[in-house]
Amino acid sequence: MLFTGQAKTQRMNIKNIFVPWCFCGWTVRNHILGVLGMEPKESVKKHSKRYYRKRVELFRLLDKIKLWPSRTGILHGIKTIEKMGDQAQITTHCNKTFMVNNSRNSRAVRWLRNKWFKGVCGACGVPAWKLDKYSSTLFRRHYGSSLLSEDEQKIYNKK
């Protein structure tokens, strides 16, 4: 026996299914939807907030988030980063390669910190979970990880 608020011929909305309080609402509602062939949407894990320092060097930030904002506003996924002193050669998943300088206030770093982009590259195929994780990342001036290596972290903690 189903408890429905409104009957619709083709589609039933999850809000239209009424379950009395004594049936522990959500579990019974999900079971009823499973029986009807209307599986509930998968629960997407909400990413916890990540905090990074605001003035982090470009290479450290790129190593961590593996995203590159192009000048046209398209967000690309990074395949490899080859460091050569104060410069690096970046290869994206859509096989574009270019040289970048290590900087703390370059266009790319500012766009990554402020999350300015128009869209995502279709050829790179940046997954939705990575975009969700990136959107939950926060940059603070006096709080967060400096993205130091383990050796640098040990030296920093001794001070």
* pLDDT value of position 159: 67
Counting residues of the chain whose pLDDT is more than 90, the rounded percentage is 41
Which pLDDT score, from 0 to 100, does residue 9 have?
46
Strand 119-120 with 74-84, pairing: parallel
Sign of the four-CA dihedral 88, 104, 53, 146 = positive
More confident residue, 139 or 89: 89
Domain borders along the chain are: 1-43, 50-148
Does pLDDT of 100 surpass 50?
yes
pLDDT for 35-68, tens place per residue? 545 555 555 566 688 888 888 889 989 999 999 9
